[in-house]
Structure 1
Amino acid sequence: MKLLLLFSLVALAQCLVHRIPLRKGKSLRQSLQERGLLERYLKKHPYDPAAKYFSTGVSSEPMQNYMDNSYYGTISIGTPPQDFTVIFDTGSSNLWVPSVYCTSLSCSNHNRFNPAKSSTFISTNESVYIAYGTGSLSGVLGYDTVNVADIEVYNQIFGLSETEPGDFFYYSPFDGILGLAFPSLASSGATPVFDNMMNEGLVARDLFSVYLSKNEESGSFVLFGAIDPYYVTNGISWIPLSAETYWQITMDRVSIMGRAELCQDSCQAIVDTGTSLLAMPNEYLTVVLRALGATSNGEVRIDCEYRNSLPDIVFYINGMEFPLTPSAYVTESNGVCSLGFQGMNVPTESGEMWILGDVFIREYYVIFSRAKNMVGLSRLS
């Protein structure tokens, strides 16, 4: 009886924090934000999506929003644990971090894993090479205990970088990358972290969900094993995957309302938390710039005076509409307005790929379901 009462009181408290509006229809969050107190409140009372669940197999990893360009959280590897900041990347499948073997400049200002300091590390003779759109790395593979959002994954295979050419990773605020795509995409046949979570029964449901904050605000997270009901009040639109490599889907078409129609015969897209912008084939970027009256000189820009008159860009997917408003795809810095688009030709068997990166994901709570092999989108209000 006492346990039931405690559960009811906790549930009621959560409703008061997350659900019940204040007078005049304002939520607690809105009221705090209007008074300039939201950031201070969140620091003292960080929102933990997993806290509302009273079962094992559900855990939340908070992510730092770095200038709306990247989102990263902290994991640990080894015994005793060595901490690393990583991008939780749905566009790749490998886990890797810099190692003490790395001689590249990019490793010099990041945390580096030292196998000699971990009693649970198991070395291999296998090498790994991973190439991204912005950088690459090579190194060796090893096994060790990995802790992600307080979920301990034993004997997890991961990459220890030895070379990281170029300067992209040098200027990155994170140490490494934790891939959340499918095993078929993994370099050297390494089993992804989330696959081991599922195989070992460490998550309540074979899915994870992601919320990305806007305007450098706190609150971003990846939730393993559950869907947070607080973020799906607008319902969930489920989209079947068209391939089990990336989180790849088929788009029916893309419309710049009243100005242009793109990929009218359908095209492929991936939902990618590891890409900052919304990437599209170069031929389509040209059409988009022309339709919006924008220019491109390394960075896609538009006259700030016209930003409020720009149209929505609507993605038609699985018979449903997913709009992207100007406030989502236009950013202003020091009086200069930029569009969150980039041209990138990513060839696939079914044509050039679109990448629905953070510019798109910030507008939707995204559920990545391995149980259904679907992506779920819920529009954020």
Structure 2
Amino acid sequence: MMKRVLLIMFLFYTLQYQAPVVAFSDPARIELLHRHSPKLNGNARPKTQLERIKDLVHSDMTRQKMISHKRRKACESETSINNTAVEMPLRAGRDYGTGQYFVQFKVGTPPQKFTLIADTSTELTWVDCRYRCGRNCNKENKTTQPQPQPHRRVFNADLSSSFKTLPCLSQMCKVDLMNLFSLARCPTPLNPCAYDYRYVDGSAALGIFANETVTLGLANHRKTKLKNVLIGCSSSFQGQSFANADGVVGLAYHKYSFANKASEKFGGKFSYCLVDHLSHKNVSNYLMFGASKNESLLSGKLRYTKLELGLLSPFYAVNVMGISIGGAMLKIPFTVWDVKSGGGTVVDSGTSLTFLTEAAYKPVMAALELSVSKFERLNLSGLPMEYCFNSTGFEDWLVPKLVFHFADGARFEPHTKSYVIDVADGVKCLGFVSQSWPGISSIGNIMQQNNLWEFDLGKSKLGFAPSTCT
């Protein structure tokens, strides 16, 4: 029965880079691939749609735990811009079998190419890496490194002339990188700053910090280099999330994330337009740093709302004030959206489904269930989505319009297919998951699909508008 696969996914971007440029007048672009792409080496892809759904939703739920965990940590502790832009082709993961998106990433001098997960909730950019002591070190000083896993690309840091480790006694290691899990151990002043980067789902990456050069492709098919990018050289890592990847690109809001570094150089902002999550790999759009050329694809003008940078660091927080369905505002307590009361909302391209805390989840589900109650309800084991049904004869117009209302008057109106989603042939589910209270609500990537999203970090605003994205 379950022949087609629902691709509930984390969003990844494939970065494509090309030759040095002197003039920066055109945007550069990066190709986006899904984790289950046949082009990627790695573990076997899930065989059935239900297996993929279970795997992807499990990733979503562990991500929500990670978001809440980082929020608690944040509460406990608390540019030069030009007209150049980078364009990175962005693809959905239907043909790749997982809920993640990938970017082709070129790092080092000369450049070495890797396939990395693009994660808007992760600060650190790291690659599977082997480092002994540099290009000119003595053999007796070299350290033993774990052997790379079969079929994996490994960054050979000793062959890169631009790879520069951070000393473990430096202020940056001991203070600035504490929130990136830098380690206190420092056998000698010249030892590199080490990290043990932990994810809430049990995944982890261990390695050393370094500054490196990243090569970026421009829209005019030239290339440029971004120097002194903080890179993690991971000698070992574990976790199912990394099964088909060589590492992670950190796109969260953080001083040392790749998103922040690239945005500072390329216009102070980045944007993406997510094609339908069921699109095949030949359909793509772009993750862009700098001026966006996607505005020609918009169905209307960009609407803007305040982007609360640092409020739920490192996530991209927005001020939601309510949700309406069919034109009627739902009775949702304001505390759900209030960070000071334990709530808040983030826009997360790495979470597939949309998570709402219980006080918002219940009225939303009650209103939507009424519109699909005439269809046979189905029980699908292993899924957190509470309401699924036989969709034979279903039409989008049967479901009333859902709208997110922001405190400054902006309204986000997702497509019906973004919250009544395909799970299998003839099966749809209401694409919401309940989040415990206190907790953060997340607007996931399926809810965001077929819209252009512009994250203006310089002006602290989020722009969005419907788009074909193709």
Equivalent residue for 2:48? none
Q: Secondary structure at the match of 1:324?
A: coil
1:98 corresponds to which of 128, 135, 146: 128
Tell me how far apart the structure 2 counterparts of residues 306 and 288 of structure 1 sit (CA, whole Å).
23
Please state how far the C-alpha of 1:208 moved relative to its aligned partner: 1.1
In 2: Cα distance, 1:256 partner to 1:132 partner: 35
Structure 2 letter corresponding to 1:96: W
Whole-Å Cα distance in 1 between the matches of residues 254 and 28 of structure 2?
30
1:117 partnered with 2:172: no
Deviation readout 1:83-129 (Å, 9 max, x if unpaired)? 12223332232211222488699x65543222123222122322234
Give 2:230's match in structure 1, choosing from 153, 157, 164: 157
* C-alpha displacement of 1:327: 1.6
For 2:151 and 2:202, locate their aligned partners in 1 and report how far apart those are by CA, in whole Å: 16
1:302-313 matches, within 5 Å, as 302-305=389-392, 307-308=394-395, 309-313=398-402
1:370 maps to what in 2?
A: 457
| SS of residue paired to 1:91 | coil
Scaled by the length of structure 1, what TM-score is found?
0.72
What CA distance in whole angstroms lies between the structure 1 residues aligned with 2:361 and 2:349?
A: 20
CA distance 1:51–1:114, change in 2 (3 Å): closer
1:5 match = none
Q: Which residue of 81, 86, 90 corresponds with 1:59?
A: 86
Partner SS for 1:197: helix
- Taking a change above 3 Å as real, the CA distance of residues 321 and 264 of structure 1, as seen in their structure-2 partners, is farther
| Alignment correspondent of 1:130 | 197
Task: Say if 1:331 and 1:339, in contact at 8 Å, map to a contact too.
Answer: no
Indicate conservation of the 8 Å contact 2:83/2:290, yes or no.
no
CA contact (8 A) 1:252 1:264 kept: no
| Aligned residue identity for 1:292 | L
SS of corresponding position for 2:233: strand
Structure 1 residue 166 and structure 2 residue 242: aligned? Answer: no
Show the 5 A alignment for 1:329-368. Answer: 329=419, 330-345=421-436, 352-368=439-455
* 51 and 373 in structure 1: CA distance in 2 versus 1, 3 angstrom threshold: closer
1:234 alignment counterpart: 300
**Match 2:262 to one of 193, 197, 200:** 197
Equivalent AA in structure 1 for residue 463 of structure 2: G
Greater length-normalized contact order (CA 8 Å, ≥ 6 residues apart): 2
Partner of 2:254: 183
Give the SS at the match of 2:296.
Answer: helix
Query: Structure 1 residues 260 and 56 mapped into 2: Cα distance closer, same or farther (>3 Å)?
Result: closer
C-alpha contact 1:60 1:223 (8 A) present in aligned 2:
yes
Stretches of structure 2 that go unaligned for 5 or more consecutive residues are 1-25, 30-81, 132-144, 167-191, 218-222, 338-343, 370-376
Matching residue of 1:220: 285
- In structure 2, the CA distance between the partners of 1:198 and 1:221, relative to structure 1 (3 Å rule), is closer
CA drift at 1:307:
4.4
TM-score (norm 2): 0.59
Match for 1:256 among 314, 318, 325?
Answer: 325
> Structure 1 74/344 Cα, relative in aligned 2: closer, same or farther at 3 Å?
farther
- Residue-by-residue CA offset, 1:227-247 (whole Å, 9 max, x unaligned): 222134511111112342221
Does the Cα contact within 8 Å between 1:240 and 1:374 map onto a contact in 2? yes
Structure 2 contact 390–426 (Cα < 8 Å) conserved: no
Deviation of residue 302 (structure 1)? 2.8
Q: Share of identical aligned residues, percent?
A: 23
- Equivalent residue letter for 2:205: S
What code does the residue aligned with 1:231 have? L
1:298 aligns with 2:382: yes
Q: Structure 1 residues 51 and 77, CA, compared in 2 at 3 Å: closer, same or farther?
A: closer
Contact 1:142 1:158 (8 Å CA) reproduced: yes
- The Cα of 1:337 is off from its aligned counterpart by 2.1
Q: Is the 8 A contact 2:330 2:363 kept in 1?
A: no
Q: What SS does the aligned partner of 1:164 have?
A: strand
> How far apart in 2 are the matches of 1:160 and 1:50?
29
Corresponding residue to 1:324 among 408, 411, 414: 414
Are the structure 2 counterparts of residues 253 and 260 from structure 1 closer, same or farther at C-alpha, using a change threshold of 3 Å? closer
Distance 1:174 1:152 in 2: 23
Q: Which runs of 5+ in 1 are unaligned?
A: 1-48, 185-190
How far did 1:334 drift?
3.0
Change (3 A) 1:326 1:232: closer
The structure-2 alpha-carbon separation of the partners of 1:278 and 1:174, relative to structure 1 and needing over 3 Å to count, comes to farther
Preserved CA contact (<8 Å) 2:304 2:410: no
CA–CA separation in structure 2 for the residues paired with 1:238 and 1:132: 32
| 1:262 Cα deviation from its structure 2 partner | 5.7
RMSD: 3.2
Cα 1:95–1:262 change in 2 (3 A) is farther
Write the deviation string for residues 160-215 of structure 1: whole angstroms up to 9, x where unpaired: 22343332322xx443222222226xxxxxx122333355xx31x21111011112
* SS of match in other structure, 1:146: strand
Q: Secondary structure at the match of 1:274?
A: coil
Shift in Å, 1:331: 1.3
Bigger drift between 72-81 and 124-133 goes to 124-133
The 1-side partners of 2:411 and 2:275 are apart by 22
1: CA distance, partners of 2:128 / 2:290: 28
CA 58–359 in structure 1, closer or farther in 2 if over 3 Å, else same: same
| CA 1:279–1:135: 2 relative to 1, 3 Å | farther
Contact 2:108 2:161 survives alignment (8 Å): yes
Distance 1:108 1:316, change over 3 A: farther
User: Which one of 260, 266, 269 corresponds to residue 345 of structure 2?
Assistant: 269
Q: Where does 1:18-37 land on structure 2 (aligned, <5 Å)? A: none
